Structure 1
Amino acid sequence: MTYEDALVSVIIPLYNRQDTIQRAVDSVLSQSYSNIEVLVVDDGSTDHSIEMLEKYHNDNRVRIFCQEYNQGANAARNRGIREAKGDYIAFHDSDDEWLPDKLEKQIKRMEYGDFQVSFCAFKRQYPKTIQIIPDISEYLSSDKIKERLKKANIVGTPTLVIHREVVHEIGIFDEEMPRLQDYELAIRIAKKYDICFVNEVLVIEYQLDDCISLNQKSLHEAYALLLKKHSDFLDIGYIWNQYLETGNEITSQNIDWDKLDEVIGDITKRNGFCTKDDLYKAAINQISEKYFRMKYYEEQKFKNILNKLVSEKFVVYGAGFFARQAADMLEKRNLLPKYFIVSSKDGTDSMNNIPVIQLSEWNEPDMIVILAVSGKAQEKIIADLQKKGRYNYYIYPDCI
């Protein structure tokens, strides 16, 4: 069998991409490598995505499947894998685009180099900038690829082509992964197979505002799962820092020590090269660095706004110790707030002869807010302000 004889199944998960799905499918159908089938798996779209696929009704290369309900991109890809008939399986995303010779170059390289897995570089297109991943100026051998994968993913889902035997050996996408599903799959592949890299940009990835890739919470959860599943492969110190860096419990001041302890326990059970003490030290260092960065940032913001304040054109949120401290500092600058705002009143009607009112009674959304409450209360108060469309707030630095 020559390389042109191999059927390639291209799987495209689809969810609410009415504006981009035709571009994605067309970029596959226009490939110079012609022996293909395209499997579009709709994951419960609520827009006109399915209607956009009517264009391919008479094209026997395109097969369309519909999930009963939204289950996520991983489940949609796995449905496509189960339905695929090809010798090779490739993955595409419904908002991205392939260059015309992508499959030809990757399949040819795999057939002639006796590789079961290949990937190429891709261009990540932002509104004003681009990023090429990975760097195509350097040749990446299979060993170098494995070394890179220990610290970060360089294998984007739409760049990947694998022989179906690989899927039978290492399994399908992990549907528990909220993000980094391509990274997790690439790690499993790298543990058992050599991977070849076609060092050309053959995929364009368009970064959209509603893309799950922008969700930090899901990224944090994904790093935790990677650490649990693959601590025997990963550079633990590096990935641990990524986990800490993305954690909401660390960027805020409410550190979830139980969650950290759970993850640390899972890592140390599977890895004999690091101890709980090592990981806790790394966590403390990361927390400290984030705290001082955040404090410096808020201090600079506060200094900038301080020079623009005008008496009775701002309010102070809080009526306790920090609010009094902030009021005294402002009064020395001849600056008086119009009100002190509180979430609920405890009988105090005024402070320093300035009215104390509840947030629910305050209706001046354009007024500057000086947030002078303890760190534990800040998160909820900020959420309450944002619910009311009030984003013009600044944290009094001594509260941080």
Structure 2
Amino acid sequence: MNDLVSIVMPAYNVQNYIGKSIESILLQGYKNWELILIDDGSSDETLKVVESFACDDNRIHIYRQLNSGVSKTRNRGLDLAKGRYIAFLDGDDFWESSFLEEMIARIDQSRAPMVYCGCVSLYRNGSKKLHSKRFSYAKGNILPDVLLGRVSIANGAALFIKDFLIDNNLKFAEGCRSGEDFEFYIRVICLTHVDVVEKDLMVYVQRSNSACNLPWNWNLIDKYYSLQRVKYFITGNYNKNDKQIVMHALDLQTGQWIYRFLWKAIKYGYKKEVIELLKDELWYNPLKQISLEESRYKDKLKIKIILSKNERIWSLISCFR
């Protein structure tokens, strides 16, 4: 167990966080790694921070590019990787010191192309949420568990066999501004069995200005197109006996996302745009379906309000939380 691990780290304006991310790699018990760090057009001192680390360790390789988005950046890192194993870690998150050691031991033992672990969400006030308290662990075919919300995989909490990703052309969807992580991991677990290390070995830092915590904006519509690509991929590549359950779970997840997106869109004044979207059965039908299956009164009422297409009623939405 001494094969090279390629760690791909995209970095964009994370000068206050990336030092800790890199230090967590330097502290790994497993030492045979390369860090492919790609600065995605940062306008702060991110590059200066990473260069200070690279001067002292030739395992750290720095690349610069014009801002291209996280998906294209990770894909570039995958193309540059020389290792047998691949791991992704964002420039504001970090690992426990045993992450690589334990993940590699499990992936070698199980011969699975992918292994994942739990994570800890760390908030600005110092509070934490443990993955192990919120989700279950599963191995083998975990696609149904992920789509049903029983299992969650955080980006940065997984290790892959590089050849498996390359052979199956598994990359992040470039140009996608929301949902790219979800789409990538669903594609992977659709094609293979996975294993798990049942420990929280990765720390996910919840920054107020990170991409997932920014105020609502219309770009979040990209998650819808990501869900549609996922449906197409599963339809063509998943042939297990529980396919009907899997497709139903994905349809419910899509409907729930549409509900949340449209509610916020109306709240932020995109009423005309929502009216146009509801004319499309690919938007309307999933929403109608979850209106029949939703058991919580408050959510059922919100869905009914959206489906009413009544702009006078919609004007009151700002009164709802």
Deviation at 1:84, TM superposition (A): 0.8
Is 1:110–1:196's contact at 8 Å kept on the other side of the alignment? yes
Counterpart residue type for residue 281 of structure 1: K
- Which residue in the other structure is 2:60 paired with? 62
TM-score, with length taken from structure 2: 0.79
Deviation at 1:199, TM superposition (A): 0.9
- Which residue in the other structure is 1:316 paired with? none
Higher relative contact order (CA 8 A, sep 6+): 2
Deviation at 1:214, TM superposition (A): 1.6
Describe the shift of the 1:146–1:53 C-alpha distance in structure 2 as closer, same or farther (beyond 3 A). same
Confirm whether residue 123 of structure 1 aligns to residue 141 of structure 2.
no
Deviation at 1:147, TM superposition (A): 1.6
Is 1:119–1:161's contact at 8 Å kept on the other side of the alignment? yes
- Which residue in the other structure is 2:33 paired with? 36
2: distance between equivalents of 1:214 and 1:137? 21
- 1:329-356 deviations in Å (ceiling 9; x for gaps): xxxxxxxxxxxxxxxxxxxxxxxxxxxx
Confirm whether residue 23 of structure 1 aligns to residue 41 of structure 2.
no
Is 1:151–1:239's contact at 8 Å kept on the other side of the alignment? no
State the Cα RMSD in Å.
Answer: 3.1
Is 2:305–2:314's contact at 8 Å kept on the other side of the alignment? no
Q: Please identify the structure whose Cα radius of gyration is greater.
A: 1
Bigger mean CA offset, 84-93 vs 212-221: 212-221
Confirm whether residue 257 of structure 1 aligns to residue 256 of structure 2.
no
Deviation at 1:262, TM superposition (A): 3.9
2: distance between equivalents of 1:48 and 1:223? 31
2: distance between equivalents of 1:21 and 1:263? 44
Counterpart residue type for residue 238 of structure 1: Q
Structure 2: gaps spanning 5 or more residues: 236-245, 307-311
- Which residue in the other structure is 2:163 paired with? 165
- 1:351-372 deviations in Å (ceiling 9; x for gaps): xxxxxxxxxxxxxxxxxxxxxx
Deviation at 1:220, TM superposition (A): 4.2
Describe the shift of the 1:101–1:70 C-alpha distance in structure 2 as closer, same or farther (beyond 3 A). same
Confirm whether residue 148 of structure 1 aligns to residue 145 of structure 2.
yes
SS at match of 1:249: helix
Deviation at 1:132, TM superposition (A): 1.9
Bigger mean CA offset, 204-213 vs 249-258: 249-258
Match of 1:289 among 294, 301, 310: 301
2: distance between equivalents of 1:194 and 1:73? 26
Counterpart residue type for residue 214 of structure 1: N
Describe the shift of the 1:185–1:293 C-alpha distance in structure 2 as closer, same or farther (beyond 3 A). same
Counterparts of residues 166-185 of structure 1 (less than 5 Å):
166-168=164-166, 169-185=168-184
Deviation at 1:213, TM superposition (A): 0.6
Confirm whether residue 241 of structure 1 aligns to residue 241 of structure 2.
no
1: distance between equivalents of 2:148 and 2:39? 33
Is 1:31–1:101's contact at 8 Å kept on the other side of the alignment? yes
Describe the shift of the 1:280–1:47 C-alpha distance in structure 2 as closer, same or farther (beyond 3 A). closer
TM-score, with length taken from structure 1: 0.65
1: distance between equivalents of 2:132 and 2:266? 29
Describe the shift of the 1:253–1:36 C-alpha distance in structure 2 as closer, same or farther (beyond 3 A). closer
Counterparts of residues 348-367 of structure 1 (less than 5 Å):
none
Deviation at 1:195, TM superposition (A): 1.2
Is 1:180–1:219's contact at 8 Å kept on the other side of the alignment? no
Counterpart residue type for residue 79 of structure 2: R
Is 1:17–1:49's contact at 8 Å kept on the other side of the alignment? yes
Deviation at 1:136, TM superposition (A): 7.8
2: distance between equivalents of 1:91 and 1:193? 19
Deviation at 1:22, TM superposition (A): 1.1
2: distance between equivalents of 1:135 and 1:148? 16
